[in-house]
C-alpha cells in the first residue's frame, strides 16, 4: 500500500475563478507543488487548505465541490466564511505574527477576536487532517507556515503516535520580539506537537530553541528537545528553486514576448531590477531612496540606467499595505521629476503580477538585481535571478535575507543603510567582467545543488527517519499509558483487598512553582485526596521533599500517610507524632552553615533564585530565574558543592530547577522501610512521581508495584502520564 503524505497549507494549490458560466478550476503552480512533484510517485499526496473562495454562489453544492477537489486535485478544502478569513488571515496571522516574526512590531495590531478566529481555523485544519489519516504508523503530515502554528499539537493530543512535520517559511524572531506576541506559550506548544520543525537558516533554529528554553523552560539539546510524549527535532532546510524549470522557461513564447515589453521600458538603457510582493518587509522604500542617492552622486547615470521595480499587490485589505504603495509612488514621482529626460523616467513601477515565463525576461535583461528586504525568511527572487543569469550580472542582496547565508558571493548590504545601497550600485558597475562571472558561477552551483526538489526530499526523508527512530527510543524509556492500560490498572486496584497508593507532591499533584502560596493544595486536589483516603481498601501516602511544617499545615485534616523531607520523617495515618527514620547520632549538620553561605552567593548572582531551609537539607531553587542563567549557575553550583562535600555526611541532588544538599542516607525509599517495620501488607501498590527524587521510590518498592512517571524519560517506572492534570484525572477514576 502506498504511503500517504498529508500536506496542509493556508491555501490549496488550486486557482478557482468565478465566471458567469460557473466555477473554473486549474492547478496553481508554486514552490511547494514543485518540491513534492519528485516524490509524488512514491507517496499518495493529499492536500488540505483553504480554496480561496468563501462561498459557492449556488454554482455548485458543497458536496459536489468537495468531491471535485478530492477526485481531480487530491485536495480537501477548509471552507471559511469571509469574516473568519478576515480575522484569522488578515487579522492575527498578518497583523500580529507576520510583522513580529519579521522584527517589525510597529506594524503589529492585536485583537483578541482575531486570535480566537485563528485558533478556530487551526482546529478546523487539525480535524480535517485527522479525517484524512488512515494509517497513523506510516502516514506523514507536513504542515506549513505561521498561519497554522497550533495545528501540530492539536493533532498530537488526538493521535499521540502521529508523524508530524512543520516548516516555517518566515524568519523566527529573537525571544525579545516573540515575547510581545499574545498567547505566545500556546503558539510554542502548538509547534512542539511536531516531530520535526524545519527552518530556512540556523539563526532561526537557534532563536526558536532559545525561545522555548526561556519561555517554556524546556531543556534542549543543540537540535532537539525531549518532551513527555515525544521528542522534537529541529532542522535547517533552505528552500530552493526549480533550476530546470527556470531554464526551460527562458525559451518559451511568453518569455520571448516579455522581452519586447522589457525593451519598451528600457529603451536601450541598462536595467536595474527589483521584484517583490508589495510588502513592508521587502524594503522597497529604502531601496528607492538608495537608488536616488546613487543618482545624486552619479547624475549622468540617470539617462543610462532605468530601475524597474515590480511590486506584486498583496493583502490589499490591510491599511499599512495601501499606505506603502502610496509612499513608493510618491518617492518614484520625486525621482522621476528630478531626473526625467525626454520622457524616459529613471524609475519605473509595475504594480502587477507576472507569470514566471514573463518574469524570466526581466531577470535575463537585468544587469543588476536589487534584493534588499529588511527581513526575509529566504527570498527566492535572488535564487531565481542567479538561475537565469548563470554567469552574468550582479546580485545586490540584503544581509537580512535568509538566502544571504548561501549566496555569500553577492554584494551584501544593510537594507536600512541607503548609503550602503547606493555604494553597492556603484561597486556593481566597477566589478570586472571575470569577477562577475566568478561570483555568479559559484552561486549558480549552490542554487543548482540545493534546488526545490532536494528541499522537499530531504525534509520528508528526515521526518520519516527521525519520527520512526524517536518512537523506537521512546519504547525503551517510559511508555505513555493508554486507556486500555488505565482501565486494567483501575480494575486491579479496585479488586484488591488492600492497595497502597504513594504520590509525590510537587510536579505530580501540583505544578512546579517557587512560592509556597502557589503550591498549597487547592479545593479540587483536597477533594481527590480526601476521597482516596476515606476509601476502605486504600492506604494513601504522600512522599515529598517538603518540610514537616508544610505537611502538617496542608495534610493534617486528611487520613493519610505522610513522608516529609525525602524520608527523614514519616507519620502513619491515625498517628499524631512523626517517626524519625535516622537516629540523632546519624544526623551530622556540620556542613550546613558553609553550604548556606555558598548558596547565598549564588542567590545574589542569580536574580529570582531563593533558598529553602529544612531540618535535614538546604535547597536552592531557580524556577523564577532566567532559564539559561539558572542552568549555567546550577551547573557551577553543583561543581562547587561536590568539592565542598567531599568526605562529608551530605550529598548533592539536582532536581527540576532545584539543587538540594541533604543528609546522606535520606531518600523517599525510606517509606518501604517504615512499612516493613510496621509489618504492613498490600495486595497491590501504585506509585506516581515526576523527578529523580522519586526514582528512589521506584527502586525501593517491589517490581510488582505499578509505577508511573509524570512526563516521559528514562526511569524505573514503566509508564508515564503527561502532566499534573492527567494525574488528577487518573486518580478520580480510582475513587
- Residues 416, 373: Cα–Cα separation, whole Å: 9
Residue-by-residue DSSP string for 198-223? EESSHHHHHHHHHHHHHHS---B-SS
C-alpha cell at 313: 499587490
For residue 578, give the nearest of 547, 613, 557 by alpha carbon: 547
Report the alpha-carbon distance of residue 228 to residue 240 in Å, rounded: 35
* Three-class DSSP labels, 81-116: CHHHHHHHHHHHHHHHHHHHHCCCHHHCCCCHHHHH
What backbone phi and psi angles, to 5 degrees, belong to 38? -75, -15
What are the grid coordinates assigned to 176, written together?
A: 525579545
Beta bridge mates, 32: none
Helix %, strand %, coil % of the chain (to 5): 45, 20, 30
The active-site residue, picked from 114, 276, 376, 504, is: 504
How far apart are alpha carbons 201 and 404 in whole angstroms?
10
Q: Which helix (H) or strand (E) holds 431?
A: none
> Across the strands, what pairs with 236?
199
Structural contact between residues 148 and 88, judged by C-beta atoms closer than 8 angstroms: no
Task: Give every CB contact of residue 22 below 8 A, 6+ residues apart in sequence.
Answer: 59, 60
Supply φ then ψ for residue 155, to 5 degrees.
Answer: -70, -45
DSSP alpha helix (H) spans, 340-482 = 356-365, 380-389, 418-430, 433-449, 452-476
C-alpha cell at 544: 515529598
* 231-236 β-sheet, strand order: 75-77, 43-50, 3-11, 140-144, 163-167, 196-199, 231-236, 224-226
Find, among 235, 192, 183, the residue nearest to 213 by Cα: 192
What strand order describes the sheet that includes 658-663?
610-613, 617-621, 658-663, 650-655
Distance from C-alpha of 44 to C-alpha of 6, rounded to nearest angstrom = 8
CA-only gyration radius of the chain, Å = 32
Among this protein's residues, is 139 annotated catalytic? Answer: no
Spell out the alpha helix ranges (H) of 309-417.
Answer: 319-339, 356-365, 380-389
- Give the strand pairing for 224-226 and 231-236: antiparallel
Residue pair 190/212 in contact by the 8 Å Cβ criterion: no
For residues 46 and 6, the answer to whether their CB atoms sit within 8 Å is yes
Residues taking part in catalysis: 504
Amino acid at each position: 500500500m502506498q504511503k500517504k503524505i498529508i500536506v496542509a497549507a493556508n491555501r490549496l494549490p488550486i486557482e478557482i475563478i468565478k465566471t458567469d458560466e460557473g466555477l473554473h478550476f486549474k492547478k496553481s503552480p508554486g514552490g511547494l507543488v514543485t518540491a513534492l512533484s519528485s516524490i509524488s510517485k512514491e507517496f499518495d499526496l493529499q492536500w488540505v487548505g483553504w480554496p480561496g473562495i468563501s462561498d459557492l454562489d449556488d454554482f455548485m453544492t458543497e458536496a459536489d465541490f468537495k468531491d471535485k477537489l478530492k477526485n481531480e486535485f487530491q485536495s480537501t478544502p477548509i471552507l471559511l466564511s469571509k469574516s473568519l478569513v478576515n480575522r484569522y488571515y488578515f487579522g492575527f496571522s498578518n497583523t500580529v505574527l507576520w510583522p513580529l516574526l519579521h522584527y517589525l512590531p510597529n506594524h503589529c495590531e492585536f485583537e483578541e477576536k482575531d486570535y480566537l478566529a485563528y485558533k478556530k481555523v487551526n482546529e478546523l485544519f487539525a480535524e480535517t487532517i485527522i479525517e484524512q489519516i488512515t494509517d497513523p504508523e506510516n502516514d506523514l503530515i507536513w504542515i506549513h507556515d505561521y498561519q497554522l502554528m497550533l495545528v501540530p499539537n492539536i493533532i498530537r493530543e488526538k493521535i499521540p503516535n502521529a508523524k508530524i512535520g512543520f516548516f516555517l517559511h518566515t524568519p523566527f524572531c529573537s525571544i525579545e520580539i516573540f515575547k510581545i506576541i499574545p498567547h505566545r506559550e500556546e503558539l510554542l506548544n502548538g509547534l512542539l506537537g511536531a516531530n520535526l520543525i524545519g527552518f530556512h537558516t540556523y539563526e532561526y533554529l537557534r532563536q526558536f530553541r532559545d525561545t522555548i528554553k526561556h519561555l517554556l523552560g524546556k531543556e534542549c539539546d543543540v537540535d532537539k528537545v525531549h518532551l513527555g510524549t515525544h521528542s522534537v527535532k529541529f532542522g535547517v532546510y533552505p528552500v530552493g528553486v526549480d533550476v530546470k524549470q527556470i531554464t526551460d522557461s527562458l525559451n518559451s513564447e511568453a518569455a520571448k514576448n516579455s522581452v519586447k515589453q522589457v525593451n519598451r521600458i528600457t529603451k536601450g538603457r541598462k536595467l536595474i531590477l527589483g521584484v517583490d510582493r508589495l510588502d513592508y518587509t521587502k524594503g522597497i522604500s529604502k531601496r528607492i531612496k538608495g537608488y536616488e542617492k546613487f543618482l545624486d552622486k552619479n547624475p549622468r547615470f540617470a539617462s543610462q540606467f532605468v530601475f524597474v521595480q515590480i511590486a506584486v499587490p498583496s493583502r490589499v485589505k490591510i491599511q499599512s499595505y495601501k499606505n506603502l504603495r502610496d509612499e513608493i509612488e510618491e518617492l518614484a514621482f520625486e525621482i522621476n521629476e528630478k531626473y526625467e529626460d525626454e520622457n524616459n523616467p529613471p524609475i519605473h513601477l509595475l504594480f502587477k503580477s507576472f507569470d514566471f515565463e514573463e518574469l524570466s525576461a526581466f531577470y535575463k535583461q537585468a544587469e543588476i538585481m536589487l534584493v534588499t528586504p529588511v527581513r526575509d525568511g529566504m527570498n527566492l527572487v535572488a535564487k531565481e535571478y542567479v538561475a537565469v543569469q548563470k554567469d552574468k550580472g550582479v546580485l545586490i542582496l540584503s544581509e537580512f535575507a535568509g538566502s544571504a547565508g548561501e549566496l555569500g558571493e553577492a554584494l551584501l548590504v544593510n537594507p536600512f543603510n541607503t548609503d550602503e545601497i547606493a555604494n553597492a550600485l556603484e561597486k556593481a558597475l566597477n566589478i570586472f567582467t571575470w569577477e562577475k562571472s566568478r561570483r555568479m558561477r559559484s552561486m549558480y552551483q549552490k542554487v543548482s545543488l540545493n534546488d526545490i526538489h532536494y528541499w522537499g526530499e530531504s525534509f520528508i526523508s528526515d521526518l520519516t527517519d527521525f519520527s520512526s527512530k524517536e518512537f523506537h527510543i521512546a519504547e525503551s524509556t517510559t511508555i505513555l499509558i493508554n486507556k486500555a492500560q488505565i482501565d486494567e490498572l483501575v480494575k486491579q486496584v479496585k479488586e484488591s483487598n488492600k492497595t497502597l497508593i504513594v504520590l509525590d507532591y510537587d510536579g505530580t499533584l501540583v505544578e512546579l512553582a517557587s512560592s509556597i502560596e502557589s503550591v498549597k493544595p487547592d479545593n479540587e486536589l483536597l477533594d481527590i485526596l480526601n476521597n482516596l483516603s476515606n476509601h476502605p481498601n486504600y492506604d494513601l501516602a504522600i512522599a515529598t521533599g517538603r518540610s514537616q511544617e508544610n505537611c502538617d499545615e496542608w495534610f493534617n485534616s486528611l487520613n493519610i500517610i505522610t513522608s516529609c523531607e525525602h524520608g527523614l520523617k514519616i507519620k502513619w495515618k491515625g498517628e499524631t507524632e512523626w517517626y524519625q527514620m535516622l537516629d540523632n547520632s546519624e544526623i551530622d549538620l556540620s556542613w550546613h552553615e558553609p553550604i548556606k553561605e555558598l548558596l547565598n552567593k549564588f542567590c545574589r548572582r542569580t536574580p529570582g533564585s531563593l533558598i529553602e531551609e529544612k531540618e535535614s537539607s538546604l535547597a536552592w531553587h531557580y524556577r523564577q530565574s532566567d532559564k539559561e542563567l539558572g542552568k549555567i549557575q546550577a551547573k557551577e553550583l553543583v561543581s562547587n558543592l561536590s568539592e565542598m562535600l567531599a568526605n562529608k555526611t551530605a550529598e548533592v541532588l539536582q532536581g527540576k530547577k532545584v539543587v538540594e544538599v541533604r543528609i546522606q542516607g535520606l531518600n523517599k525509599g525510606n517509606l518501604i522501610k517504615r512499612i516493613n517495620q510496621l509489618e504492613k501488607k498490600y495486595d497491590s501498590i501504585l506509585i506516581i512521581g515526576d523527578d529523580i527524587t522519586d526514582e528512589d521510590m521506584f527502586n525501593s518498592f517491589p517490581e510488582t508495584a505499578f509505577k508511573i512517571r509524570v512526563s516521559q524519560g528514562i526511569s524505573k517506572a514503566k509508564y508515564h502520564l503527561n502532566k499534573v492534570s492527567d494525574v488528577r484525572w487518573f486518580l478520580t477514576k480510582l475513587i
